[in-house]
Amino acid sequence: MIKPIAIVAGEPNSISSEIIFKSWKLKKKYPHKPFFIIGNIEILKLQKKKLNFKINIKEIDKKFKIKDIKGNFLPVYNVNYKQKNAFQKISIKSNKYIISCFDAAIYLLKNKKILGLINCPIKKETLFKKKHKGITEYLAEKFKNKGNEVMIIFNKKLSVSPITTHVPINKISELLNKNVIIKKAQTINKFYLQHFKIKPKIHILGLNPHNFSESKNSEEKKYIEPAIKILKRMKIKVEGPVSADTSFLFNKKNMPEVIIGMYHDQVLSPFKAIFKYDAINITLGLPFIRISPDHGVAENIVGKNIANPNSLIESIKFFNLIKET
């Protein structure tokens, strides 16, 4: 049975609606599964008018069938929300609405109505102040899978994954340990085996500059090197610790499929400099595939109709590789 993809509209006062409209307009030019939007139909109509898109938008029944989302219209699973203007300043006012959209997606996932979900950008600083670090952790908690989630920024040529994600620099070292490195590498290895039928070559970075520390108890010696030794015994193709400053300098013979870094910007900064919008954010370790475009809400260009939809399009295309269950 064919299942559709749900796209959660995300922060309503962002570029989310713009990249949704552009992806919908271009859908005949790329391979994709059927998809629909989880969001508020009235705000989408307001934004469509503001951005001058000629698109038919139609609300779908909550008990929809696959035939109900096919046609010359953008199908929307409606979530209640009131906003007078097409775009407003991002604030906590839309938080309840955003969470309601994700809860609708969770309901559909648990009832096996959708293949997986894509969420458009949200502003973490506004949405989650204390309880959750981000949507990844929120979803993991909802599915009682907390601690198993792995962030991977995916590109067919090269992907990256940080061991720690949205945490302050001075907290990184205390969050590292041998087991978390092993567990995340195993999850990545399993993902590539399942979806691409290959054992990926993985480079694991050190934490300190040039992998050097005057301390005899450095993170490299205490956690990273022991983890690599165990992973090699598991027949996982890992190398390291690789010095971070030269980690993105390689030729075709030693190019890895994945680089695992110890913290967020250690791998994401050089990756985005190389691939820009040609990447997607996939959460591994959940009982479903969750993807988001690899960019933020772009407050500076909201409503200007200049946002690049490529990352959302790549997110939609990725589901063609996923086996339906």
The 10s digit of each residue's pLDDT in 100-125 is: 999 999 999 999 999 999 999 988 77
- Domain containing 78 equals 1-147+287-325
Indicate if 296 and 231 belong to the same structural domain.
no
The whole-angstrom separation of Cα 104 and Cα 16 is 18
pTM: 0.86
The 10s digit of each residue's pLDDT in 11-52 is: 999 999 999 999 999 999 998 999 999 999 999 999 999 999
Q: Higher pLDDT residue, 208 or 125?
A: 208
- What is the pLDDT, as a whole number, of residue 324? 57
Number of residues written out for the chain: 325
| Residue that is last in its domain, among 269, 284, 299 | 284
**Are 77 and 36 in contact, with CB atoms under 8 Å apart?**
yes
Indicate if 18 and 129 belong to the same structural domain.
yes
- What is the pLDDT, as a whole number, of residue 263? 94
Indicate if 142 and 43 belong to the same structural domain.
yes
Indicate if 113 and 254 belong to the same structural domain.
no
Indicate if 44 and 132 belong to the same structural domain.
yes
Tokens for 40, please give them: 């508020």
Indicate if 137 and 158 belong to the same structural domain.
no
For strands 280-284 and 289-293, give the pairing: antiparallel
Count of structural domains within the chain: 2
Indicate if 89 and 180 belong to the same structural domain.
no
Indicate if 100 and 124 belong to the same structural domain.
yes
Indicate if 139 and 15 belong to the same structural domain.
yes
Indicate if 260 and 298 belong to the same structural domain.
no
The whole-angstrom separation of Cα 150 and Cα 159 is 13
Tokens for 75, please give them: 């199908």
Indicate if 117 and 48 belong to the same structural domain.
yes
Q: Higher pLDDT residue, 58 or 124?
A: 58
pLDDT band at 144 (very low <50, low <70, confident <90, very high): confident
Q: The CATH number of the domain where 199 resides is what? A: 3.40.718.10
Indicate if 122 and 207 belong to the same structural domain.
no
SS3 category, 160: strand
User: Cα-Cα-Cα-Cα dihedral of 172, 278, 78, 1, to 10°?
Assistant: -100
Q: What integer is the mean pLDDT of 75-95?
A: 91
Q: Which of 145, 138, 151 is nearest to 103 (CA)?
A: 138
Average pLDDT of the chain to the nearest whole number: 90
Single-letter amino acid, residue 204? I
For the chain, how far is it from start to end, CA to CA, in angstroms?
Answer: 8
Q: What is the DSSP string of 187-232?
A: HHHHHHHHHHSS---EEEE-SSGGG--SSTT-HIIIIIHHHHHHHH
123-127 LR contacts (CB < 8 Å, sep 24+): 123/11, 123/14, 123/90, 123/296, 123/297, 124/166, 126/11, 126/90, 126/91, 126/92, 126/95, 127/11, 127/92, 127/95, 127/98, 127/99
